[in-house]
Amino acid sequence: MDRASATRDELLAEVEALRLRLAGTEEVEARATRAEEALKALEERNRMLGNSAPLGILTVDLAGHITGINGRMLEVLPCSTLEEARSLNVFQVPCLLDSGVAEDFRRCLETKRSIVSDRLQADPAGERLYFRYHLSPITDGSGLCSGVMAFVEDITDLKLVGEALRESEERYRLLFRSAPTALLERDASGLKAYLDDLRASGVGDIREYLRLHPDEVAHCMSKVKTVDFNDSFMALFEGTSREELSEGFFQLNTEEFYRLALEIIPLVAEGNVSRERETILRTLKGNPRIVLTKALAISGYEDTLSRIVISLVDITERKEAEEGLRASEQRYRDLAIRDNLTGLYNTRHLYRSLGDHIGACERSGGCLSVIFMDLDRFKHVVDSYGHLNGSRAVQEVAATIQASLEEPAYAVAYAGDEFIVVLPGFGQSEARAKAEEIRSRILETVYLRDQGFAVRLKASFGIATFPDHAGDMTGLLAAADKALFGVKEKGRDAVGSYLLLAAD
């Protein structure tokens, strides 16, 4: 009889003795019944699980109203359609209140920080499942929060696998092989013993030791043995056979594995492998995969680390979805504050941001200037080349202006061929120099060249400075407009300041 069989027989004998000792008590009977029912439910779920990890997406506004939801999330909440979902409030849904998820949403909104939490929650059918909620505040470029985005993973099987491991080797092995989550079992006892010997010989800092002895990285990792991996692991890394995966995946011949080794070896030295992290791995076909890994030393093997189970969840699609959603959010924000024709900021952004800049100047005692400008006799360009080419010319002029600016300065498409340039921190002389630079660039540029024309343009500029010429946003824009009007009265193609006009 081998050691594993002897151990199993001993465990069975202990369990039988415990049952005989406690037989007849209602508490033990109820506990055994619940354990049997849980095992049956676990086995049934494992048979029904699909090939991919579940992922729900949910967005809510500041009041907790659901603003967006995907099909997987509809299976989690007590609703079956998008219309029903939009009538729900996460602060009032019973299953979210009972599990504590509602409070997680509230904390995310209050702190404007991302939250990751594992929650035991009842689904619409009353079944209690484990979900991992990744909550992130939805913010704009200024940090203003407009709601929360949640990515929700069903991690029930991972939780149950961990429990099954502690129950018995036979059940664990069955679940390990059939689990839909990619699982890998490794034996790090050889590495642990080697690192212990290094420390006993006087090596105090393993990380520094590996830096000074890079060849030791491969030597150390060669002491970690692969015990087993399941079919989901093979599918994740695109293996066609266990032999192919064993020969190709575990070789230390890639930059990714060298980087992983530098993370893993110190953890083994510390005896603390239970750490969750994201990493990028490549399949046997060379395809990158972003995976969330979690290592767990099986109960009873924490000291030797001879049995470590590693779960790998492919979050590539989730990451792509997050990036897509972030890009979409950014596009929507840009559409709200950008001019469709030129790509410059629009007046909505001007009125909001200029007021903020003036407020900052009032607090700090600083200054800022604005330039009001328009193209001289631009109607002649439109009459000569048509409205479409007129719009193209405006686009090209906008590009000329933008090329002249550095943040925090910015340009605004005001109306037609009119533009406003906001220059935080610029006094009158600096603003005049910037206006002259833009004027010179416009004069030197040939417009509509791609359309087969050679159009030369001129522009007039009016400058006003806060707090010299006005004490608020409305007055400042009016002063710059008046300065522009004075320039155009005197013949155009020039730069004028409000101060000089007021002195005339």
Q: Is residue 245 located within the same domain as residue 189? A: yes
Work out the average pLDDT over 478-490.
92
Q: What does the pLDDT look like over 465-482, one tens digit per residue? A: 999 999 999 999 999 999
CB 191 within 8 A of CB 224: yes
Contact assessment for residue 491 and residue 467, using Cβ atoms and an 8 Å cutoff? no
pLDDT confidence bin for 448, thresholds 50/70/90: very high
Distance of CA 88 to the CA centre of its chain: 25
Model confidence pLDDT, tens digit, residues 371-422? 999 999 999 999 999 999 999 999 999 999 999 999 999 999 998 899 999 9
Q: Do 250 and 176 sit in the same domain of this protein? A: yes
Residue ending a domain, among 154, 171, 203, is: 154
* Nearest partner of 401 among 318, 342, 480, 465, judged by Cα: 342
Q: How far apart are CA 260 and CA 209, in angstroms?
A: 16
Amino acid in the structure at residue 83: E
Is residue 329 domain-resident? no
Distance CA(20)–CA(488), nearest Å, equals 104
3 state DSSP class of 155: coil
Examine residue 324 and state whether it is found in any structural domain, yes or no: no
- Do 224 and 274 belong to one domain? yes
438 with 484, same domain: the answer is: yes
CB 394 within 8 A of CB 417: yes
| Domain with 292 in it | 163-319
Measured in degrees and rounded to the nearest 5, phi and psi for residue 493 equal: 50, 55
Task: Give me the DSSP letters along 425-462.
Answer: T--HHHHHHHHHHHHHHHHHPPBSGGGT--B---EEEE
**How much of the chain exceeds pLDDT 70, in percent?**
84
89 shares a domain with 233: no
In a domain, 331, yes or no: no
pLDDT(49) > 50: no
At 20 the pLDDT is 66
Q: Which residues of 298-311 are buried (b: 16+ CB within 10 A; e: fewer)?
A: beeebeebbbbbbb
- Total tally of structural domains belonging to the chain: 4
Task: Tell whether 304 and 444 lie within a shared domain.
Answer: no
Side-chain-facing half-sphere of 482: CA atoms under 13 Å: 15
Could you tell me if 16 and 82 lie in one domain?
A: no
Domain check: are 80 and 97 in the same one? yes
Show which of 319, 351, 376 is a domain's final residue. Answer: 319
* Residue 212 in domain: yes
Under a CB-based contact definition with an 8 Å cutoff, are residues 378 and 389 in contact? Answer: no
| CATH number of the domain that residue 279 is part of | 3.30.450.20
Question: Is 441 contained in some domain?
Answer: yes
CA distance 211 to 231: 36
pLDDT at 64: 92
Q: Say yes or no to pLDDT of 68 above 80.
A: yes
Mean pLDDT, rounded, of the chain: 83
Is 478 a domain residue? yes
**Cβ neighbour number for residue 78 with a 10 Å cutoff:** 16
Residue 325 maps to a domain: no
pLDDT at 502: 47
117-145: average pLDDT = 87
- pTM (predicted TM-score): 0.42
Token pair belonging to 79: 């609703």
Same domain, 488 and 359: yes
Same domain, 59 and 171: no
- Single residue among 90, 120, 154 that ends a domain in this structure: 154
- Pair (108, 221) in one structural domain: no
Q: Are residues 386 and 459 in the same domain?
A: yes
Residue 314 lies in a domain: yes
**pLDDT per residue as tens digits for the range 225-276:** 888 888 888 888 888 887 777 655 555 446 767 777 888 888 888 887 777 7
